[in-house]
Structure 1
Amino acid sequence: MKTLVGQERTLGGLPMGVVWGFVATLIFMAGDGLEHAWLSPYLIEKGLTVQQSATLFAVYGAILAIASYFSGVLTEMWGPRKVMVIGLVTWLIGQVLFIEYGLKLNNFAIMLPTYGIRGLGYPLFCYSFLVWVTYRSPERILATAVGLFWAAWSGGLYVVGSYFPAYMLPKIGYIGLLWSAVAWVLVGGIVGLIVVKGDVKKEQKGNPKEKLKSLMSGFTICIEQPKVAIGGVVRIINSTGIGSLPIFFPMYLKSNYGFTTEQFLQMWGTMWFANIIFNLIIPYISDKWLGWQKTIQWLGSFGMGVMLLVLLYTPEVFGSSFLALNIAGVLMGIVLCGFVPLSALVASLAPEKKGSAMAIVSFGAGMSYFIAPAIVGLFIGLIGAKGVIWIFAGTYFLGAYLMKFMKLPSEENNKNEIVLEKHAG
């Protein structure tokens, strides 16, 4: 796959197609996120058990992880636009069937496959666009471009996806909100398909065995480039710890310190708002001064391990201070930005197979949706909320250790040259 060339208007060094693609991502993910904060309690209120609700989200997470992997390798084979079309169509089909035959009929057997089908949608649409971004963006600002993507992604999913339902639920209700999500996704999908032009794809001239080889390239590259596999593990750690908090932490805060669910959601939204702002700052610092590897290792991995523990013990120190909780949340949102250069780093480790490398990163992002609730479910009954947070903090510290091995070839060459010069001297 080769980088597209040609005359095109730019904004801050980024092609305008990429910039508008960020807008499309935000709109698409806003639609995808409109039910995340309330669907589980709504289903339980309608008669489902907690176990059934957990199963629904586990199935969704497993399918999302598979789609996240294939988003990269299919983009290599077919180009981003075809994969984005598949993502848009499967999301719409899954959403309509989930509403009409799952929720309205309160039929759990239909909810499982239809919500699962919807889980194919956003990874195929958004992550294939992210692969395109890694090819279209100049390397000197690649981490910044990836940061803008994740700012758009989280801004849609967590910020618009939280505040829009809070305002609209009293006006249009739960089912009406889900139908409004169709409009959001359609608009974002159409904008994305318009701006992503000139597919950057490999020509598949081989037989079916060659195409199967391409599909498996995301895993074989882990053998060829072990650092890509490490990047995938760090990506799992990135989202698993932070993604686990809404599952159990609001109940912990309520039962122990009297914080309401609404207060947790306000803190959660504030945290992600801070994250979006610093998603535009931290990557610039990383590109210009700190470097990708050190940013991920110390700010992202080590910083998140520390901040999870700070968030845990803030109520013990400051009691029911909502201000203190928010300050801890804001700081956590900031250090979380340290993971933004990971996609750029992994893609740069395999410059001729960026799509395959990004498949592993995307697969890691998807797997976190499955692993986070699994860890909580396995351990919260044994060691409680505090113990679970210590587990996730430990995974972040593990990620910091793994990042020692994630230097770019150019950085290792420079280090070797310095060593040789010392020996020569």
Structure 2
Amino acid sequence: MQSEKSWFGLPVSLLWGFVAIAIFMSGDGFEMAFLSKHITDMGFSPAQSALVFTLYGAAAALAAWSSGVVAEIITPQRAMRIGFVLWVVMHVLFMTLGLGMRNYGLMLLFYGIRGLAYPLFIYSFVLMIVQNVPKDQVSSAMGWFWAMYSIGIGCIGSYLPSFTIPWMGETGTLWFAVAWVVAGGLLAMFALRNVGVESAKAHLSPKDKMRELSRAGTLLVTNRNIFLACLIRIINTLSLFGFAVVMPMLFVGQLGFTMSEWLQIWAVFFFVTIFTNVMWGVLGETIGWIRQVRWFGCLGMALSSLAFYYIPVTFGHNYWMAMIPAVMLGIFVAAFVPMTAVFPALEPKHKGAAISIYNLSAGLSNFLAPAIASMVLPFFGVLGVVWTYTALYLFAGVLTLIIRVEQPGHPSKASAAKNWRSTVAAQNKSS
């Protein structure tokens, strides 16, 4: 594979694909801040509203897990097209027959199915990156991917509804999301239609395609390094998902911050990741994927997690001091960006299955973070949750000492020793 022309690590040939991800995820993220309350305002119970999102999350996790292999056996372009069309159709049905008719069963059905759509769209593009970008540039390209993701769902998707809801209402804002998703989907369909080479796995027989799909699970057993990488990726975002649940109890419930102040502090975290995802993606190629994850990801997140508790507790209701741990978290959580490059490097003959396991790890992190918090909180409070996450980050750091992955330009000690022995043998033979 020839060197990909890039701009600060951004592959030029895939430029419009990255833009499409930001636009698509903006529309997908419109509902995050208010849909749950909108459903309860319609007369449904909080438990019913929670079940809607539970089914959505389960569907999204399933789609994320399988998307890498699906994209490899039908091509990323087709998988993205399916995800795009599925999102639009299910959202329209959810709005008209679900919310529009206040039919709870149809709300569960259509919103749940829509959960399959966005992972199929965005994670198929991840495989396209892996297939078309040289291994020594994947980390920086993935930094840009997560930056676009943060711009979409974390910035535009979170802030724009605060302006549109007073103007067109919650229902109008939910319809407005369709325009953004359609724009992102169409841009991807036209801009990426001729990108890359079709995978050989696209021509497998149905039986062989099913066998390839099963590798999304079996690789965890057959490849020890994939299993270790999976554990590290799960731990990666524990604080991100867990702190969103437990920290309002500390900041608002105990320290006197208003909910608006807390939301602004948390928004700063997302804003910082836009830049640090790109930064760490590029630096990972120089520092080394695993070395960066160990010292800046694992250790950095351990210190950031502790800071998120001890700094506000020490300084009390001090808005600007509370911003410090949010910035720290935004800096160090992105240091795990090279993990996306690690998975396919560990299983180069089955990149789709490797990406699927990466996606599974991300989904499990989203699930396990609040689960750990719910188990620890009743016994040890918020401080116990913080120390549990910190211990897990340190554990992940230990795992980085065990995992073995060949990174272009950063040979392992075993490979270096083997090359040295080969060189010595060649010199002895010539002499």
Q: Same fold (TM over 0.5)?
A: yes
CA distance in 2, matches of 1:281, 1:173: 38
Q: What residue identity is the alignment partner of 2:350?
A: K
Tell me what 1:39 maps to: 35
Which of 240, 243, 248 is the matching residue for 2:241?
A: 243
**Structure 2 gaps, min length 5:** 426-431
Which of 211, 214, 223 is the matching residue for 2:212?
A: 214
Whether the 8 Å CA contact 1:88–1:125 is kept in 2: the answer is: yes
Which of 308, 311, 332 is the matching residue for 1:311?
A: 308
- Residue 59, structure 1, aligned to residue 52, structure 2: no
Whether the 8 Å CA contact 2:94–2:106 is kept in 1: the answer is: yes
1:394-405 matches, within 5 Å, as: 394-405=391-402
Tell me what 2:199 maps to: 201
Which of 298, 310, 326 is the matching residue for 1:301?
A: 298
CA distance in 2, matches of 1:287, 1:366: 26
Cα deviation for residue 360 of structure 1 reads 0.4
Deviates more, 1:260-269 or 1:404-413: 404-413
Cα deviation for residue 396 of structure 1 reads 2.2
Whether the 8 Å CA contact 2:247–2:382 is kept in 1: the answer is: yes
Whether the 8 Å CA contact 1:75–1:201 is kept in 2: the answer is: no
What TM-score does the superposition give when structure 1 sets the normalisation length? Answer: 0.90
Whether the 8 Å CA contact 2:281–2:338 is kept in 1: the answer is: yes
Cα deviation for residue 291 of structure 1 reads 0.7
How many residue pairs are counted as aligned between the two chains?
Answer: 417
Q: What residue identity is the alignment partner of 1:148?
A: W
Cα deviation for residue 144 of structure 1 reads 0.6
1:276-287 matches, within 5 Å, as: 276-287=274-285
Cα deviation for residue 60 of structure 1 reads 1.7
Whether the 8 Å CA contact 2:26–2:152 is kept in 1: the answer is: yes
Tell me what 2:25 maps to: 29
1:50–1:381: structure 2 CA closer, same or farther, 3 Å change rule? farther
Tell me what 1:142 maps to: 138
Q: Which secondary structure state, in structure 2, belongs to the residue aligned with residue 399 of structure 1?
A: helix
Cα deviation for residue 9 of structure 1 reads 6.7
CA distance in 1, matches of 2:379, 2:97: 38
1:312–1:348: structure 2 CA closer, same or farther, 3 Å change rule? same
CA distance in 1, matches of 2:35, 2:373: 19
Tell me what 1:388 maps to: 385
- Residue 191, structure 1, aligned to residue 192, structure 2: no
Deviates more, 1:196-205 or 1:61-70: 196-205
Q: What residue identity is the alignment partner of 1:314?
A: I
- Residue 231, structure 1, aligned to residue 215, structure 2: no
CA distance in 2, matches of 1:226, 1:187: 41
1:312–1:105: structure 2 CA closer, same or farther, 3 Å change rule? farther
1:377–1:55: structure 2 CA closer, same or farther, 3 Å change rule? farther
Q: C-alpha offsets along residues 76-112 of structure 1, whole Å, 9 cap, x if unaligned?
A: 1011011001111221122222222333344433322
1:10–1:319: structure 2 CA closer, same or farther, 3 Å change rule? closer
Whether the 8 Å CA contact 2:72–2:201 is kept in 1: the answer is: no
Structure of larger gyration radius: 2
CA distance in 1, matches of 2:303, 2:375: 23
Which of 308, 318, 341 is the matching residue for 1:344?
A: 341
CA distance in 1, matches of 2:419, 2:209: 43
1:97–1:393: structure 2 CA closer, same or farther, 3 Å change rule? farther
Q: C-alpha offsets along residues 362-398 of structure 1, whole Å, 9 cap, x if unaligned?
A: 1111233333343344443444333233333333222
Tell me what 1:68 maps to: 64
Cα deviation for residue 270 of structure 1 reads 1.2
Q: C-alpha offsets along residues 152-208 of structure 1, whole Å, 9 cap, x if unaligned?
A: 011111111111112222111111111111111111111112222245322455543
Q: Which secondary structure state, in structure 1, belongs to the residue aligned with residue 252 of structure 2?
A: helix
Whether the 8 Å CA contact 1:11–1:19 is kept in 2: the answer is: no
Which of 354, 359, 363 is the matching residue for 2:356?
A: 359
Cα deviation for residue 359 of structure 1 reads 0.8
Q: Percent identity?
A: 35
Q: Which secondary structure state, in structure 2, belongs to the residue aligned with residue 216 of structure 1?
A: helix
Q: C-alpha offsets along residues 115-162 of structure 1, whole Å, 9 cap, x if unaligned?
A: 211111111000010111012112232211010001101111111111
Q: Which secondary structure state, in structure 2, belongs to the residue aligned with residue 33 of structure 1?
A: helix
Whether the 8 Å CA contact 1:68–1:127 is kept in 2: the answer is: yes
Tell me what 1:328 maps to: 325
**Structure 1 gaps, min length 5:** none
1:370–1:98: structure 2 CA closer, same or farther, 3 Å change rule? farther
Q: Which secondary structure state, in structure 1, belongs to the residue aligned with residue 30 of structure 2?
A: coil
Q: What residue identity is the alignment partner of 2:250?
A: Y
Q: C-alpha offsets along residues 252-293 of structure 1, whole Å, 9 cap, x if unaligned?
A: 3111011122112211221111111121212222212x2100
